Amino acid sequence: MLSGNEHIKRLIETMIVKGREPHSLIITGEHGQGRKTAAKYIAQALLCEKQTGRPCGKCRTCRMIADGVHPDVMTAAANENGNYPVDSIREIVSGAVIAPNEGRLKVYLIPDFDKSKITGEQVQNILLKLIEEPPDHVVIILTADSREAFLPTILSRAVSLGVTPCTKEECVSYLGTLNKYEYGDIAEAADALGGNIGLCIEYLDRGAIYSAVQNAREIARALAAGNTYGLLKILNDCDSKKGLLRQTLVLTSIIARDSALSRLGGEMIGCSAQGAKELSVRYGSTRCERIYRIISEYIARLDRNCSKTLVINSLCAELSGI
Ligand SMILES: [Zn+2]
């Protein structure tokens, strides 16, 4: 079920009702905001037996797509480092000419395309032919964190849709329907992570984001107390798990952003309103903004594959000199 994102639902509905279905779509948005859910929603809307423009969610086709077992809805598999093997994409292109098994369309989902950093360009060049001249029965849906993952030749031929976060209320009400979590825990997750349903579920299941939230709160506390040693210790502890350091820094930067804007009455979107307040009391808006900029710069260095140890040590040194 796709929560919120009424703009996507309405656009797809209009396209289907008017018989102007796109053959290639690009869905972008942050991790956890429902890109894959939106892709499945579109596949359901296209193939639903009721054909109203919106998936009924109840027919056999809708249920098979939801369960990931519909023979005409195929999801490409990346290898473990996120790259799509070139051969598997060639297979998609050559298999695409074959008519669908049971539906009127064949839908290919190619998720998390931004992670295919090594083969991304090559894969797009292979897909280009199919995207330029798709058979009538083919729909390709690519998802990524941003449009930057794609070549202009692909972007110019695909319909781009951005998923947007749900409101906190939509998120809480959706998580409640899963009958899996306590209301108190749901409220806590939504408070920390806003309307990002994917991240809230990861938090409730005690995945990496849960540790990242705790770390970011501790870092804000250590910074507000001028505790450089504490800061260094938390960051070094993050170093052991893949991705945890980056996620922790992203969440910390949002707290710093909140603290810089707090006196202006800006909306708090980070995982610690308390931390943001304490930082703002100790440093004032201008220095909080510097903290935000410094942390953002170090996130960029991590993305450029700088050594984690170097990032941690230099970041601590810069932050303790604020
Ligand atoms: Zn249906």
Work out the widest C-alpha separation in the chain, in whole angstroms: 65
Q: How far is the CA of 4 from the centre of ligand 1 (A)?
A: 19
Nearby residues for ligand 1 (ion, Cβ within 5 Å): 48, 56, 59, 62
Q: How far is the CA of 130 from the centre of ligand 1 (A)?
A: 27
Residues 6+ apart with CB under 8 A from 256: 220, 276, 279, 288, 289, 291, 292, 295
Q: How far is the CA of 34 from the centre of ligand 1 (A)?
A: 20
Q: How far is the CA of 143 from the centre of ligand 1 (A)?
A: 23
Q: How far is the CA of 7 from the centre of ligand 1 (A)?
A: 20
Q: How far is the CA of 257 from the centre of ligand 1 (A)?
A: 43
Name the H helices within 25-151: 35-47, 60-66, 86-95, 120-132
Residues 6+ apart with CB under 8 A from 155: 26, 147
Give the DSSP H or E segment for 161.
strand 159-162
How far apart, in whole angstroms, are the C-alpha atoms of residue 54 and residue 16?
Answer: 9
* Residue 34 contacts residue 163 (beta carbons within 8 Å): yes
Q: What is the per-residue pLDDT across 68-83, written as a single tens digit (0 to 9) for each?
A: 999 999 999 999 889 9
Would you call 116 helix, strand, or coil by DSSP? coil
CA dihedral 185, 189, 192, 198 (to 10 degrees): 170
pLDDT in tens for each of the 322 residues of the chain? 788 899 999 999 999 999 999 999 999 998 888 999 999 999 999 999 999 999 999 999 999 999 999 999 999 999 988 999 999 999 999 999 999 998 899 999 999 999 998 999 999 999 999 999 999 999 999 999 999 999 999 999 999 999 988 888 999 999 999 999 999 999 999 999 988 999 999 999 999 999 999 999 999 999 999 999 999 999 999 887 778 999 999 999 999 999 999 877 777 889 999 999 999 999 999 999 999 999 999 999 988 888 999 999 999 999 998 8
Q: How far is the CA of 236 from the centre of ligand 1 (A)?
A: 50
Q: How far is the CA of 138 from the centre of ligand 1 (A)?
A: 19
Q: How far is the CA of 142 from the centre of ligand 1 (A)?
A: 22
Q: What is the per-residue pLDDT across 137-193, written as a single tens digit (0 to 9) for each?
A: 999 999 999 999 999 999 999 999 999 888 889 999 999 999 999 999 999 999 999
